[in-house]
Chain A
Amino acid sequence: MPVTAPAQPAATTAALKLRESVSQLSEDALGRFREAVRGFMARSDNRGYQFYAGWHGVPLGLCQHHNAVFLPWHRGYLYHFELALQDIDSDVTLPWWDWVDEAGIPDAYSKRTAGGRRANVLHDAPIKPFGVQPRRGWPTRTSRRPGGDPSSGQHPIGPPIRQYWDWIMEPSSFDEFNRRITFVHDNLHGWVGGTMGDPNWAAFDPLFWAHHTMVDRVWRIWQHNNPGAMANYPFLDRAMTYAKAPSFKVREVLKVSQLGYEYAAQSASVPGTV
């Protein structure tokens, strides 16, 4: 039996979709996700991957970092991106990259091929920002350099980062949690490196979406542990901008069930009586 919740705006009850760890997806589920991403990338109009990737950095620059709406804005961004993906296959959801307990970049994203000798659409992607002429010096494809050059200077910490879990989860204040998860978020962007290390291009990398789904999951877990902690948050009515409707106020993205999803490490169902 699926978990259900009232769906806005019709106030009907609808089944929530579960976001799962990419490393826990069945071969079939991962294959369907890849096919949906492939179809998403094939769309060149304002329903396609390049259009949505361009909200974050080039060309639209709507992303929010190092401020009070970092987590809410990205939750809304994932909502829009996931619905566009579900226009291709309504059963797929955004999987998360478990950088708390798993080392390196997940195989699903790091292997060059998938399903035989076919290119793995999660490995990299073209960078063709929607509606603008490319400029000299722009990257044309996403790149990664996990861990960077170990012989040069200061480095971010690579996954798994389990040793920081208690530190991340410790605060009861959202401001402090936001500060700590921002550190972790920035650290992992830097650890992946390449175009993931630059807000202008990061969202063109398929791994960006698994990374931010994990960030959103960590926030969701913190919300579980701190119910009501954001009831008097002073930015609840702050409007957040996206390139398609709906826009959101912060208060409208606090309950993930109202956005149609939940997180699960694993899930299982059995038939009921009807």
Chain B
Amino acid sequence: MERWKGKPLELPIDFGSLSRLDLVFEGMRRDEGTFTAYVFLNAPRLRADAGRDHPRFAAAFTLFAHEQCWGDEGHCDWKREPVSPFDMRPEHDVTPTAVTLDVTDAIRRLGNPDQLTVTVHATKLADPKETQGIVRFERLTAVAYR
């Protein structure tokens, strides 16, 4: 299991007027294998086996992802650029994606926090004992809707 704990997200909004709050994991990699992640909010003392019934549990997701590159060198290099202005080929099939989680209910259970600290516990499907490189993304953004 891999644990990722983000820096506190500053949220100067009135949670009482909130209609929805999403957490968006941007640039989520999907070239290192399928994993399942549990997401917790403002949970400073979190055991590794904290489950869906934990009071600070917010959401869970499984990402269906390619386990390993089977081709020659460069086959899974998703960062390729168009080779010409006429290059209309679609993006690479393991190009990172965005994972959006609706955590509105979990936020409401927290009351009206000034900050939001997100912790992710992730387990790799093919190797549950793996502890790093399981969940990789560029940025986490909280998006609030009134």
Contacts and interface: CB of A to CB of B under 8 A. Distances in A.
A200 B38 contact: no
A156 interface: yes
B37 A154 contact: yes
A97 B4 CA distance: 35
A135 B72 CA distance: 11
Contacts of A183: 61-62
Interface stretch (A36-44, A64-72, A108-116, A219-227): A64-72
Interface string B93-107: 100010010000000
A57 B76 CA distance: 12
Given A186-B64, A198-B66, A152 B125 contact: no
Interface in A39-62: 57-58, 61-62
A187 B70 contact: no
Contact of B62 (A63, A149, A153, A156): A156
B122 A186 contact: no
Nearest to A192: B125
A190 B64 contact: yes
A58 B72 CA distance: 13
B123 interface: yes
A189 interface: yes
Given A58-B70, A63-B93, A66-B30, A186 B62 contact: yes
A165 interface: no
A199 B48 CA distance: 28
Given A138-B70, A154-B1, A197 B93 contact: no
A200 B94 CA distance: 11
B125 A197 contact: yes
Contacts of B30: 65-66
B94 to A, nearest CB: 9
A185 interface: yes
Contacts of B144: none
B126 interface: yes
A185 B1 CA distance: 22
Given A154-B122, A193-B125, A61 B64 contact: no
B63 interface: yes
Contacts of B93: 61-65
B46 interface: no
Nearest to B72: A135
B128 A189 contact: no
Contacts of A191: 62
Interface string A145-156: 000110011111
Given A65-B30, A65-B93, A66-B30, 18 more contacts: A61-B93, A63-B93, A135-B70, A152-B128, A153-B1, A153-B49, A153-B123, A155-B123, A156-B36, A157-B60, A183-B61, A185-B64, A186-B34, A187-B61, A190-B125, A198-B34, A199-B65, A200-B68
Interface of B: 1, 30, 33-38, 48-49, 60-68, 70, 93, 97, 100, 121-123, 125-126, 128-129
29 contacts: A57-B66, A62-B93, A65-B93, A65-B97, A66-B30, A67-B97, A137-B68, A138-B70, A148-B125, A149-B128, A152-B1, A152-B128, A152-B129, A153-B1, A154-B35, A155-B36, A155-B123, A179-B100, A183-B62, A185-B64, A186-B64, A187-B62, A189-B62, A189-B64, A190-B34, A190-B125, A191-B62, A197-B126, A198-B66
